[in-house]
Amino acid sequence: MKNIFLIGVLLAMVSCKNQSQESSQNSNSDLAIAEIKSPIKPLNFVTSAELKETVFYLASDELKGRATGSEGIEKAAVYIENKFKAYNVAPYFETYRDYYEAKGMDASNVVGYVEGNDPELKKEFIILGAHYDHIGVVKAVDGDSIANGANDDASGVAAVLAMARYFAATKNNKRSMLFTLYSGEEIGLLGSKHLAERLKEQNINLYTMTNFEMMGVPMVDKDYEAYFTGFDLSNMATKMNDYVNFKLLNQLPKAKEFQLFYRSDNYPFFKVFNKPSHAISSFDFTNFDHYHKVGDEAELMDYEFMADLVNKLIPAYETMSNTITQEIKMNE
């Protein structure tokens, strides 16, 4: 009887141990599933203060609306160059400048470079860009004749500079990244057209291109953060949503109606390379009344929103830069 009792105790102990291990494994498995299903938390790297500083300078009266070929846009270019230097973002060409002629005027893009950390994948490039020009001095309204261009597109420039700071600091990108700021957008996408053609001549292996346009104010009554022009042309927006595991980007019917995909600096890259090249914006046609007007002022931007959006975008681009294969493709 004693031996039978001891055997029973031992069997009970083994059973309890197995149940405990199974319970622990199930708990760990549930936790792992929960972690997989949870959206990636946005970073706290980009601050509203840095975005505000950039927009307030670029949209200041001192720069007189940053018309291509003007003294004001040259000041803007020097500001961007100095930011790249401060962030240890390298020039891609011999200098940061990509010079070209825009309707008889001397003009330039500003191009920064963060090399990928993988010996093979660094040969592939992700381009993030925005235009730093605006329409300059216009007909006065209540004594104000400077179209400062805070939302259009100092907001996009601020976002690109902040992302350049992140990737230069972390160097957590297997693919190489170009941070490209264009002039000549307002007079026919001339800067982006020139740069796209120059990079094509150099046989750059372009993976994706994103243009950031008018992202200074939040969208109205939307369940996503920003819209993606040319949404159906590639799987890029869908993949970026997958990378962060929430609805970061979506399509906006108005953007398709007004053919915004063809009207911003993403389009020359799409046309030249036939690779996923899109624009991201939060201007939804109802949330900002100062497009190409003197009222496009820096104090009207929502810098907390901007910082939150950029901090949510960075993990998507970081994942994009590190996938082993090119998961983002044009749709057939």
Q: Residue 274 is which amino acid?
A: N
Chain mean pLDDT for the chain: 90
Helix or strand or coil: residue 58? helix
**How large is the average pLDDT for residues 6-23?**
41
Model pLDDT for residues 281-310, shown as the tens digit of each residue: 999 999 998 999 999 999 999 999 999 999
Relative to beta strand 105-114, strand 176-182 is: antiparallel
Q: How many CB atoms lie within 10 A of CB 118?
A: 16
**How large is the average pLDDT for residues 180-204?**
98
Task: Give the model's confidence band at 264: pLDDT under 50 very low, under 70 low, under 90 confident, else very high.
Answer: very high
Handedness of CA 220, 223, 226, 230 (dihedral sign): negative
Task: Look at residue 320 and tell me whether its pLDDT is greater than 90.
Answer: yes
**How large is the average pLDDT for residues 240-256?**
96
Q: Residue 211 is which amino acid?
A: N
Nearest to 219 by CA among 316, 305, 310, 312: 305
Q: Distance between CA atoms of 51 and 159, rounded to whole angstroms?
A: 7
> For the chain, which residues make up each domain, given as ranges?
40-322
Task: Give the model's confidence band at 39: pLDDT under 50 very low, under 70 low, under 90 confident, else very high.
Answer: low
Cα-to-chain-centroid distance, residue 247: 15
Q: Distance between CA atoms of 47 and 8, rounded to whole angstroms?
A: 64
Q: Considering the entire predicted model, what is its pTM?
A: 0.88
For the chain, percent of residues with pLDDT exceeding 90:
86
Model pLDDT for residues 62-92, shown as the tens digit of each residue: 999 999 999 999 999 999 999 999 999 999 9
Q: Distance between CA atoms of 75 and 80, rounded to whole angstroms?
A: 9
pLDDT at 225: 96
Instruction: Please report where in the chains the tokens 């803007």 appear, as a residue.
Output: 76
User: To 10 degrees, the CA torsion angle through 179, 183, 189, 190?
Assistant: -110
**How large is the average pLDDT for residues 138-161?**
97
pLDDT at 196: 98
Q: Distance between CA atoms of 198 and 203, rounded to whole angstroms?
A: 9
Task: Look at residue 2 and tell me whether its pLDDT is greater than 50.
Answer: no
Alpha helices in 103-189 (DSSP H): 155-170
Task: Look at residue 213 and tell me whether its pLDDT is greater than 80.
Answer: yes
Check if the beta carbon of residue 154 is closer than 8 Å to that of residue 298. yes
Task: Give the model's confidence band at 332: pLDDT under 50 very low, under 70 low, under 90 confident, else very high.
Answer: confident
Check if the beta carbon of residue 302 is closer than 8 Å to that of residue 308. no
pLDDT at 294: 94
CATH level 2 (architecture), domain 40-322: 3-Layer(aba) Sandwich (3.40)
Q: Distance between CA atoms of 88 and 149, rounded to whole angstroms?
A: 27
Task: Give the model's confidence band at 6: pLDDT under 50 very low, under 70 low, under 90 confident, else very high.
Answer: very low
For the chain, percent of residues with pLDDT exceeding 70:
87
pLDDT at 42: 62
pLDDT at 43: 80
Model pLDDT for residues 156-189, shown as the tens digit of each residue: 999 999 999 999 999 999 999 999 999 999 999 9
What Rg, from alpha-carbon coordinates, does the chain have?
24
Task: Give the model's confidence band at 40: pLDDT under 50 very low, under 70 low, under 90 confident, else very high.
Answer: low
Cα-to-chain-centroid distance, residue 49: 18
Question: Residue 101: beta bridge partners?
Answer: 106
Check if the beta carbon of residue 132 is closer than 8 Å to that of residue 212. no
Considering only 3-7, 238-242, 269-273, which range has the smallest mean pLDDT? 3-7
Instruction: Please report where in the chains the tokens 């730093």 appear, as a residue.
Output: 132
Handedness of CA 83, 84, 86, 91 (dihedral sign): negative
Check if the beta carbon of residue 318 is closer than 8 Å to that of residue 310. no
